[in-house]
């Protein structure tokens, strides 16, 4: 019995020694780690969600009250600048225009009569001048009486007065003609308001009324958009928007075409940010997006704000105690693990940090944490990964 008990105790002791040896071997045996490598031409990007919008969008309607009698455009139509979109009933205004044109015709006839009267008065004056000159010469030689000379002078003065009167009447006739022409232009301008024309090359986004509807001045009948001004409005977190600038390249993904990526550029950055969400409004003009657009469609925007010529990047998951641009990383130095306080720079879109300072020249940075890490532990570099 004692011998059997002794054998059991000896077996337990052997097992404990073996377990301790195995644990010691595992504890001090070098472990494999992966380290970060130097990378070249690393893009620094920022991401934002947004919608398809247009810089030029107009809600157009008539300036006058009237019944809608003609519709020349509808939803989805493309129209050119100046094209007629719709008309309202304009019979009364057409009558006013006709009346104004008749007044112009009458004024033009009066001008012609006045000009003819001037010509007659000028001819009469020339004749009276000649007669008066002859009689005055003859009276000096005593060939005619003084009474005849006085009559000739009086006739000359009357002809001069008649010419002056004719010229005055002609001036009044010309002024009246200008006035009637101005009235005609005014009435024709008013008549033009009974037609609604496209202010620019546009696409009709919506039409709000049907034929026969009574429209009020300023009521929006059509919504138009300039297709050349369509862009994407994206919202970028202010904390990531500091390096953004107009002209930077961007990538656009439309929700309806999620498997395609389109090229674009930053066209405008709003001066005023969204105070509630603390986001900056960024407008991206797409360079190769489809011609058919849908205002309000969701879109993803990625803007390239910088590029690192050469950098060592470490994932956020491999950083201990990240505080702004500072944190602790594991390093491999002379085949053993160490910890270093480092300074970080740029941050990539996939969550990696640029290591700027704090790592010795010959050291390598561990980019994936594992179990069994301790300072001084021997390691073998199993993989070098970007």
Structure tokens at 144: 């005619």
Positions of the chain with pLDDT under 50: 14, 17-26
Residue 181, domain extent: 91-192
Examine the domain organization and report whether 291 and 330 are in the same domain.
no
> Measured between alpha carbons, how far is 24 from 2 in angstroms, rounded to an integer?
33
Phi, psi of 159 (to 5 degrees): -65, -40
* Domain closes at, from 249, 279, 307: 307
> Measured between alpha carbons, how far is 255 from 51 in angstroms, rounded to an integer?
10
Examine the domain organization and report whether 261 and 279 are in the same domain.
yes
Q: Are 208 and 220 in contact (CB under 8 A)?
A: yes
Examine the domain organization and report whether 185 and 102 are in the same domain.
yes
If you write DSSP's letter for every residue of 211-249 in order, what string do you get? TT-EE-TT---EEEE-GGGEEEEEEEEGGG-TT--TT-E
Q: Strand 57-60 vs strand 222-225: parallel, antiparallel, or unpaired?
A: antiparallel
Q: Are 244 and 269 in contact (CB under 8 A)?
A: yes
Question: Any idea how long the chain is?
Answer: 386
pLDDT at 13: 62
Half-sphere exposure of 296 (CA within 13 A, CB side): 1
CATH classification at residue 210: 2.40.50.100
pLDDT at 50: 95
pLDDT at 69: 95
pLDDT at 21: 41
Q: Assess if residue 327 is contained within a domain.
A: yes
Q: Assess if residue 182 is contained within a domain.
A: yes
pLDDT at 266: 97
Residue 297 CA from chain centroid, whole number: 16
Q: Assess if residue 210 is contained within a domain.
A: yes
pLDDT tens-digit profile of 276-291? 999 999 999 999 999 8
Q: Are 248 and 284 in contact (CB under 8 A)?
A: no
Q: Are 227 and 293 in contact (CB under 8 A)?
A: yes
Q: Are 294 and 256 in contact (CB under 8 A)?
A: yes
pLDDT at 165: 85
């Amino acid at each position: 019995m004692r011998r059997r008990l002794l054998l059991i105790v000896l077996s337990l002791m052997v097992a404990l020694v073996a377990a301790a040896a195995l644990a010691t071997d595992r504890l001090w045996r070098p472990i494999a780690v992966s380290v970060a490598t130097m990378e070249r031409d690393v893009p620094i990007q920022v991401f934002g969600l947004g919608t398809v919008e247009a810089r030029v969008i107009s809600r157009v309607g008539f300036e006058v009250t009237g019944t809608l009698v003609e519709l020349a455009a509808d939803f989805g139509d493309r129209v050119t600048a100046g094209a007629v979109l719709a008309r309202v009933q304009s019979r009364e205004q057409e009558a006013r225009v006709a009346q104004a044109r008749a007044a112009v015709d009458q004024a033009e006839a009066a001008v012609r009569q006045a000009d003819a009267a001037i010509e007659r008065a000028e001819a009469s004056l020339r004749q009276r001048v000649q007669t008066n000159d002859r009689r005055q010469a003859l009276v000096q030689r005593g060939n005619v009486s003084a009474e005849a000379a006085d009559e000739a002078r009086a006739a000359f003065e009357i002809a001069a007065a008649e010419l002056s009167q004719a010229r005055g009447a002609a001036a009044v006739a010309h002024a009246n003609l200008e006035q009637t022409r101005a009235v005609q232009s005014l009435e024709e301008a008013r008549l033009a308001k009974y037609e609604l024309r496209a202010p620019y090359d546009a696409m009709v986004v919506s039409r709000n009324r049907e034929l026969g509807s009574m429209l009020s001045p300023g009521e929006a009948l059509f919504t138009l958009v300039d297709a050349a001004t369509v862009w994407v409005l994206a919202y970028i977190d202010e904390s990531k928007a500091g390096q953004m600038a107009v002209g930077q390249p961007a990538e656009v993904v439309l929700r309806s075409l999620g498997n395609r990526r389109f090229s674009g550029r930053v066209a405008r950055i709003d001066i005023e940010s969204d105070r509630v969400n603390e986001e900056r409004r960024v407008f991206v003009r797409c360079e190769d997006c489809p011609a058919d657009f849908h205002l309000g469609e969701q879109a993803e925007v990625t803007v390239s704000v910088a590029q690192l010529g050469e950098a060592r990047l470490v994932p956020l998951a491999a950083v201990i105690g990240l505080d702004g641009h500072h944190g602790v990383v594991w390093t491999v130095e002379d085949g053993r693990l160490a910890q270093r306080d480092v300074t970080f720079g740029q941050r990539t879109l996939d969550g990696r940090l640029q290591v700027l300072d704090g790592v010795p020249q010959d050291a390598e940075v561990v980019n994936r944490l594992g179990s069994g890490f301790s300072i001084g532990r021997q390691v073998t570099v199993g993989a070098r990964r970007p």
